[in-house]
Amino acid sequence: MKRVYNFSAGPAVLPEEVLREAADEMLDYQGTGMSVMEMSHRSKAFDKIIKDAEQDLRDLMGIPDNYKVLFLQGGAHLQFAMIPMNFMKNGVADYIVTGHWAERAWKEASKYGKANCIASSKDRNYSYIPDCSDLPIDEDADYVYICQNNTIYGTQFHTLPNTKGKTLVADVSSCFLSEPIDVEKYGMIYGGVQKNIGPAGVVIAIIREDLITEDVYPNTPTMLQYKIHADKDSLYNTPPAYGIYICGKVFKWLKKIGGLPAIKERNEKKAALLYGFLDESKLFKGTAEKDSRSYMNVDFVTGDKDLDAEFVKEAEAAGLSGLKGHRSVGGMRASIYNAMSIEGVEALVKFMKEFEAKHTK
Ligand SMILES: *Cc1c(COP(=O)(O)O)cnc(C)c1O
| Beta bridge partners of residue 94, listed in sequence order | 116, 144
Tell me, using a 6 A CB cutoff, whether residue 335 lines ligand 1.
Answer: no
The mean pLDDT of the chain is: 98
Distance between Cα 282 and ligand 1 center (Å): 33
Nearest CA to ligand 1 atom 8: 75
Distance between Cα 294 and ligand 1 center (Å): 16
pLDDT tens sequence across 5-40 = 999 999 999 999 999 999 999 999 999 999 999 999
Tell me, using a 6 A CB cutoff, whether residue 76 lines ligand 1.
Answer: yes
For a pocket test of ligand 1, which of 8, 104, 173 has the largest count of ligand atoms closer than 8 A to its C-beta?
173
288 Cβ partners below 8 Å, 6+ apart? 127, 128, 153, 154, 155, 294, 299
The C-alpha atoms of residue 98 and residue 162 are separated, in whole angstroms, by: 15
Tell me, using a 6 A CB cutoff, whether residue 147 lines ligand 1.
Answer: yes
Q: Are 253 and 68 in contact (CB under 8 A)?
A: no
pLDDT of residue 253: 98
Distance between Cα 228 and ligand 1 center (Å): 23
pLDDT of residue 1: 81
For the chain, the farthest-separated pair of C-alpha atoms sits apart, in whole angstroms, at 66
Distance between Cα 194 and ligand 1 center (Å): 8
Q: Are 125 and 99 in contact (CB under 8 A)?
A: no
Closest CA to 42 of 244, 247, 248, 239: 239
Atom of ligand 1 nearest to the CA of 77: 9
Q: Are 96 and 161 in contact (CB under 8 A)?
A: yes
pLDDT tens sequence across 63-76 = 999 999 999 999 99
| Percent over 90 (pLDDT), the chain | 99
The C-alpha atoms of residue 247 and residue 253 are separated, in whole angstroms, by: 10
Is residue 341 predicted with pLDDT exceeding 80? Answer: yes
Distance between Cα 326 and ligand 1 center (Å): 13
Cα 156-293-129 angle, rounded to 5 deg: 50
The C-alpha atoms of residue 135 and residue 116 are separated, in whole angstroms, by: 12
Average of pLDDT values for 325-331? Answer: 94
Closest CA to 355 of 280, 283, 303: 283
Closest CA to 350 of 5, 1, 2, 3: 5
Nearest CA to ligand 1 atom 14: 173
Tell me, using a 6 A CB cutoff, whether residue 333 lines ligand 1.
Answer: no
143 burial class (0-12, 13-18, 19+ CB within 10 angstroms)?
buried
Active-site residues: which are they?
Answer: 101, 171, 195
DSSP code at position 324: B
Tell me, using a 6 A CB cutoff, whether residue 101 lines ligand 1.
Answer: yes
**Strand (E) positions, the chain?**
5-6, 67-72, 92-97, 114-120, 144-147, 149-150, 155-156, 168-171, 188-192, 203-208, 285-286, 297-301, 320-321, 332-335
Tell me, using a 6 A CB cutoff, whether residue 193 lines ligand 1.
Answer: no
pLDDT tens sequence across 40-65 = 999 999 999 999 999 999 999 999 99
What is the side-by-side order of every strand in the sheet holding 168-171? Answer: 67-72, 203-208, 188-192, 168-171, 144-147, 92-97, 114-120
Tell me, using a 6 A CB cutoff, whether residue 292 lines ligand 1.
Answer: no
219 Cβ partners below 8 Å, 6+ apart? none
Tell me, using a 6 A CB cutoff, whether residue 175 lines ligand 1.
Answer: no
Q: What is the DSSP string of 9-27?
A: SSS----HHHHHHHHHTSS
Distance between Cα 152 and ligand 1 center (Å): 10
